[in-house]
Every structure is written in structure tokens, then in C-alpha cells.
Amino acid sequence: MPKAAGYCYAVKKGRKTGVFDTWPECEAQTKGYPGSKYHKFPTRDKAEEYLRSPNEVFASTTRALVEHARLIAQPSPTNQLAVASTSARAPLPVPTQIDSDSDIVYSDGSCRGNGQKGSYAGVGVWWGSDDPRNLAERCPGDQTNNRAELIAIIRILETTPHSSRPLVIKSDSRYSIDCVQKWLPGWKRKGWRTAGGTPVKNVQLIKYLAALLDERHQKSGSKVVLQHVYGHQGEQGNEGADALANLGATLPEVPEPDWDALRRAVETAMRKKAVEEAVSAPFGATATTTQLVVQETKPPSTGFVEPADVDEFEFGLELLAGDDELLNEIEQG
Amino acid sequence: MPKAAGYCYAVKKGRKTGVFDTWPECEAQTKGYPGSKYHKFPTRDKAEEYLRSPNEVFASTTRALVEHARLIAQPSPTNQLAVASTSARAPLPVPTQIDSDSDIVYSDGSCRGNGQKGSYAGVGVWWGSDDPRNLAERCPGDQTNNRAELIAIIRILETTPHSSRPLVIKSDSRYSIDCVQKWLPGWKRKGWRTAGGTPVKNVQLIKYLAALLDERHQKSGSKVVLQHVYGHQGEQGNEGADALANLGATLPEVPEPDWDALRRAVETAMRKKAVEEAVSAPFGATATTTQLVVQETKPPSTGFVEPADVDEFEFGLELLAGDDELLNEIEQG
RNA sequence: AGACACCCAUUCGA
DNA sequence: TCGAATGGGTGTCT
């Protein structure tokens, strides 16, 4: 509540451009300047990043995306099934250029009127300006912010081919990250009950997301880094995903996939691979256990984003051991 | 989110005047035209009403008001006390003609540079063109838009004699109306904390306003109707109050009244009356509990202002039962 | 009690 | 498009 000034103002269009420490300074550059563009940020870093980022990130991406999303979204005899099937969820073509050590992608969910009747939610995935892998989709099923955030991450994993490079997913949803990072093991143990004894929400989504992560680790051995970023800090990628999510929320309703079926399909594939490996190397070599690396950033109020803290979590076939449904299937099949 | 074009543009001063359906048409009449006056409206009705409304409703009122306001406002040995005392806040003379079933009055607050250092706020009350009860006053104390809006309503209640007819106060401040309409009971219960746990702002103002409403209900049994109107829709009364508020903001600073003292004075008077009534009619007759009627209008985007929905709220001695300070005073007095 | 999101509403202004 | 003044809520977990 203390109005402790600690803000910066980035002026992108104005008499002088640059970063200014006080509002009056910023105002002096923008007031009365036609088409001025400026923004408040909690840190100088963020302000500078905003200045560096291109002005119209999504303009050209948008139209194509809307069309793409509409096609997928509109229930019709020819594509209704496809939407809910895994095949329609196959990876998109990857751009040919490979330019960095790890793949970075932003996810975001939005939900107009969250908690209200008649709310509508959207999902956004942003790889870069004009990147064909970008997504703007209507959130299927219940329209809540948290579902949209989870599904955004799921959609990334569904549409991104495995690769040897780490995949860095940046989300501003602490909830989504914590679901897979810190709460999932306990939930498995305690039968998907919250600390308050109530059933965990969005279980199908969370289980499917966990399965997708497991699959990726098992197949490629590569890392998935879930990194939390604070929303609305001017970070280009987050803003991009946000805009795409808002766009997605305007699309027509879509049928909800059968998340459990999707998860089982993934798990079946994993089991096959596990069996093959066990057969070819039966000398006590345990199933692949890879790491889910979760990167943490400091909250924006600290002023600096320090070198990311890294928490590491065991992942892999743990799920097989903790899931009754799966054990049953294995026993019977 | 749909940018569904359905707007009209009224040009009051420009190359051609009238109502135009598109922004380019409107722009053509106004761009570069010195002193152009134009406005966007959601409906043609509103646009036409704006054109019909006299251009300078207040011109003749203004000079007298400025003088009047200056006299009241200027702190001087002879009137400084009067400003803060209830006696100086006595009702103004009412015009002799009585012309309708209920009294309608518009309130508005304005605040130049709201939130900035050096902002200055004004209070406007509009009864009609050239009505002597009109007010244009500088906002005392902190200069914020919301304080000005609250004080505008307070000033109406302070300066308007009780009457058997309902008093309709039209304000464009949803905040002010909600303060007394929907949030006040909860605030009393929860110790004047907001939903986020922070202290409610402008508490003295709100308490005093509530006391004035209670007093009015108790004394006269008449209704006070708080009606929300949307700002800048061309409604004459709202525009009038707006102009007066802007005028008030240009007046010199005024000392801030002791709102708590004012409230206590009102509450003391109420208690006396309550006691008298209890004595003269001790047969379980409860204290007067009247209704605060809150009228709601549709937002302007719907295009039509339908017959007002009416929500009714219990008011009256509830405050006596919920205010510890008061209970203490009663016990001691 | 805390955290991260998602918003909703009305103003006041530049 | 940007700022501030002000309030209300849900989604979710610990």
C-alpha cells in the first residue's frame, strides 16, 4: 500500500525514447505526442526489454491463427472427431532454422468473466513473432482461468515434436506449475485429495499433463523446464501468449476432448517402450527416470531477475507405480 | 470484446453539425476545426439529445455561483468556522414553485490530474438551469475523484430540506452508490475492511453519508433514491453537474470539515428523536425503518435505458445497532 | 493467513 | 493507449 515509487517508464514512441524513472519525466515525452507509446514497469530490466521488443508482435500472425483456430474449433461432421483424437493433436511443422540451445515457448490462459456465468476462456501459445507454431484456441470444457492455463501447457506438449534440446515453457500460472512441480507427488499418495480433504480439481487435465511430461522424458530423455514468469511485466513472450489467449477466448465453443483417453493412449505408448527396453537390456537397468527441471524467478518487486533458481524433481515411471487404474490395466493386459 | 460498430457521432460545433454514423464522417467535420465539439454515443437517441441540450446551460448561473462559492470557500476569520459547522451547512432556500412528484438532483465530482501531485477536485450539484440550489464547490481535503463524488452527494443531503416527496439523486459514480447500497453492511460487519483485507478508503465520508441518509429517513420517512446514470451520455443534468464540478475545482482550497464530528451531530439528533418516539409509543413500536431505494439503469451499450429496475434496501436504525462508538455514547449519556 | 492468476464494475483524468 | 481512484469477485493450491 505504500506508494513506494520503484517504477520505471519506458517510452517507445515520444519526443525522447528510453527509460525514465518518474512519471513526470515520462509524461514530458509523451503528453500531447500523437501516437505516443509508453508503459509502466516495476524494473528497469523489464522496461528495457519492452523497448527492445518489436512493436507489432502478432499482427501478421493473428489472421492466420484465427482461421486455423476456427477450422479446428468449428464442430462439423468432418473434423469433430479429429479434434478430440490424438491424431489431430499431432505436432505442427517445425521451422527449419534451429537457432538456440533450448526451445523457449510461452503459454497463457485467459478467462473473461472468470467465475461468472457465461465466462469464456482462451488458450495462447507463443513461440515468436509470426511463428507458425503459435496457437490461439478456445478453451474446451469448463471455462476457467486455471483450466485454460493448464491446457495451454498441454497444447504445447501435444504440438511440439520431441527434441534433444531442453524445452523451456514459460507460464505465469503458479498454479499450473505447482500442480506438476510440488503437489502432484503428494496427490498421488493421498488419492488426489487436497490438504483440506476435498477432491483435487482438474484431475484429468493434471494427470494428462503429467503423462505428456513423462512420455517426453522417457522417449527423448530431454528436459522440460517449467519456468514461472510474472504476468504483465512487459515480457514480449508473455504478452504475446496473453494476446493469443484473449484471441482464443473469442472463438466458438469447442467440444471437450476425452482427457483420460488421451492420457491412456500416451501411457500405453510409454509402456510399450518400457517393455521393449526391459527386454533388450534385462540386467536390472531400471526404466528411464529423467528430471523435470523447474526454474523459479524472483517476484518482480525485487527489481532483479537473478540467475534462475533450479528445483529438480524426479519424474518418470513414478506414475506407473502410483496409479491404480494403470496397474489394473497392466495386470489385465 | 466484439468491436461491433453501433456508434453515432454528434457534432455540435464543426463544419457541419448533426449526427454521423461513422468516425470518418465525424472527423471530416471536426478535424482542424477550431473549438470543435463532438462526441461519440452508443445510440442515435443519445446523440440527438446531446445536440438538443443547450450549449451553455450554466452561463447565467455561473457568475453568481462563483461568487457564492468563493464566499463560502474562502477561509477567513469570519467564515472559517462556519464552513465546518453544521449551521453553515443549513439548507438553502427552496424555490417556491413545486412542479413534480419527486425532487430530482444531479451530483458529480471532478478531479483534474486525479492521482497526480497537485491535483484539484471539485464538487457539482445541479437542480436545474439557474436554480439557486446549484452548487459548485472546491473539494475539501484530499483531492481525488471518488472523494469529490461522495462529497457531492453529501452536500445535497446537507443543503436540501426534508420533504415528503422522494429525493432522487442521480450520480454517475457507481463507487459512491455502491458504498452505501451494497458494501456498507458488509463493511460494518467486517470492521471496515475491503475484500482484500485492506482498510476501506474514505471511511469518514461514507459513515457521514450513511448517517445523513438515516437521519432523513427517520425524520421525514421519505425516500431517497440513489440512481446511477452513465456519464457523458448527453444527459442535461449530468452534464450540468459535471460543469459545476469542473468549476468548483477552480476555486481556492478549503479546509476540511471534521466529518466525524458532523456525523456525531447528526446521530445525536437522531437518537433524541428515537428516544422521544420510544417514550411516546412504548408498545414495541420499533424505530422508523425506511427504505433506501436504489435505481439501476442499463449500461449505455444496450442502446436503451429501460424503465429503471428498483432494488430496495433496508435502512434506518441499523446503524445504531452496529456502531460501537454510538452504543458507548448512549450508555454514558 | 498466504501465493499466483483470471477478471468484473464505475468514474476521474492525460 | 496511458495513468489513478475505488470497490467486488472466482479459480486453485498450501
User: Which residues are paired to B41 by β-bridges?
Assistant: B8
Mean pLDDT computed over B73-96: 36
Give chain B positions within 8 Å (CB) of A1.
198
Give chain A positions within 8 Å (CB) of B2.
250
Taking an 8 Å cut-off on Cβ atoms, the answer to whether B198 and A249 are in contact is: no
Integer CA distances (angstroms), B312 to A109, A304, B207, B212, in order:
39, 52, 20, 18
Taking an 8 Å cut-off on Cβ atoms, the answer to whether A250 and B2 are in contact is: yes
Residues 176-215 of A with CB under 7 A from strand D: 178, 183, 186-187, 194-196, 198, 200-202
Taking the C1' atom of every nucleotide in all shown strands and the CA of B116, the nearest one is D4
B 197-236 residues with CB < 8 A to A: 198
Q: What region, left, alpha or beta, does residue A8 occupy, with left being phi > 0 and alpha being psi -120 to 50 degrees?
A: beta
Q: Which residue, counting CA atoms, is nearest to the C1' of nucleotide D3?
A: B115
- What is the pLDDT at residue A39? 72
User: Which residues are paired to B107 by β-bridges?
Assistant: B125, B171
Please, are residues A86 and A155 in contact by the beta-carbon 8 Å criterion?
no
CA atoms within 13 A on the CB side of B264: 13
Vertex A276: Cα angle to A274 and A282 (nearest 5)? 90
Please, are residues A300 and A230 in contact by the beta-carbon 8 Å criterion?
yes
| C-alpha cell recorded at residue B307 | 424503465
**If pLDDT is split at 50, 70 and 90, which confidence band does B149 have?**
very high
Please, are residues A203 and A193 in contact by the beta-carbon 8 Å criterion?
no
Give the pairing type, strands B224-228 and B167-171: parallel
- What is the pLDDT at residue B284? 42
pLDDT tens for residues B253-304?
899 999 999 999 999 998 888 888 777 754 444 434 344 555 555 555 433 3
Q: Could you write out the DSSP letters of every residue in B51-63?
A: HHS-TTSSHHHHH
The separation, in Å, between residue B279 CA and nucleotide C11 C1' comes to 46
Please choose, from the candidates B317, B313, B326, the residue with its C-alpha nearest in 3D space to the C-alpha of residue B288: B317
Give chain A positions within 8 Å (CB) of B198.
1
- Indicate the helix (H) or strand (E) that contains B314: strand B309-314
- What is the pLDDT at residue B7? 52
The separation, in Å, between residue B98 CA and nucleotide D9 C1' comes to 44
Q: What is the Cα–Cα distance from A158 to B284, expressed in whole angstroms?
A: 72
Asked if B2 has any chain A CB less than 8 Å from its own CB, the reply is: yes
**If pLDDT is split at 50, 70 and 90, which confidence band does B198 have?**
confident
Give the pairing type, strands B103-112 and B120-126: antiparallel
Please, are residues B44 and B233 in contact by the beta-carbon 8 Å criterion?
no
Q: Which residue, counting CA atoms, is nearest to the C1' of nucleotide C9?
A: B174
Phi and psi for A242 in degrees, rounded to 5?
-60, -45
Mean pLDDT computed over B242-252: 91
Please, are residues B12 and B49 in contact by the beta-carbon 8 Å criterion?
no
Taking the C1' atom of every nucleotide in all shown strands and the CA of A143, the nearest one is D11
How many other C-beta atoms are found inside a 10 Å radius of the C-beta of residue A302? 11
- What is the pLDDT at residue B70? 44
Q: DSSP 3-state assignment of A227? A: strand
Residues 283-322 of B with CB under 7 A from strand C: 299
Q: What is the Cα–Cα distance from B266 to B207, expressed in whole angstroms?
A: 11
- Write the DSSP symbol of residue A88: G
The separation, in Å, between residue A23 CA and nucleotide C5 C1' comes to 27
* Four-CA torsion A269, A275, A277, A282, nearest 10 degrees: 170
- Does the pLDDT value for residue B43 go beyond 60? no
- Chain D bases near protein Cβ (<7 Å): 1-14
Q: Which chain B residue has the Cα nearest residue A246?
A: B1
Please, are residues B112 and B120 in contact by the beta-carbon 8 Å criterion?
yes
Rounded to two decimals, the pTM is: 0.68
- ipTM above 0.90? no
From A1, A23, A250, residue closest to B1, measured CB to CB = A250
Q: What is the pLDDT along chain A (333 residues), one digit of tens a residue?
A: 333 345 677 777 777 787 777 666 777 777 666 666 777 666 666 677 767 665 444 443 444 455 444 444 443 322 222 222 233 454 444 443 445 688 999 999 999 989 888 899 999 999 998 899 999 999 999 999 999 999 999 999 999 999 989 999 999 999 999 999 989 999 999 999 999 899 999 999 999 999 999 999 888 888 899 999 888 877 889 888 998 999 999 999 999 999 999 999 999 998 888 888 777 755 444 434 334 555 555 554 433 333 333 233 333 323 222 333 332 332 222
User: Cβ of B151 < 7 Å from strand C?
Assistant: no
The separation, in Å, between residue A246 CA and nucleotide D11 C1' comes to 17
Taking the C1' atom of every nucleotide in all shown strands and the CA of B111, the nearest one is C12
Please, are residues A87 and A72 in contact by the beta-carbon 8 Å criterion?
no
Taking an 8 Å cut-off on Cβ atoms, the answer to whether A249 and B1 are in contact is: yes
Give the pairing type, strands A167-171 and B224-228: unpaired
> CA of A136 to nearest chain B CA: how many angstroms apart?
15
* Four-CA torsion B299, B300, B305, B306, nearest 10 degrees: -40
Residues in Cβ contact with B111 at an 8 Å cutoff, skipping those fewer than 6 apart: B119, B120, B121, B122, B139, B143, B144, B145, B148, B249
Phi and psi for A284 in degrees, rounded to 5?
70, 5
- What is the pLDDT at residue B84? 29
Asked if B1 has any chain A CB less than 8 Å from its own CB, the reply is: yes
Q: Which chain A residue has the Cα nearest residue B1?
A: A250
The separation, in Å, between residue A45 CA and nucleotide D3 C1' comes to 21
Please, are residues B121 and B109 in contact by the beta-carbon 8 Å criterion?
yes
Residues 154-193 of B with CB under 7 A from strand D: 175, 178, 183, 186-187
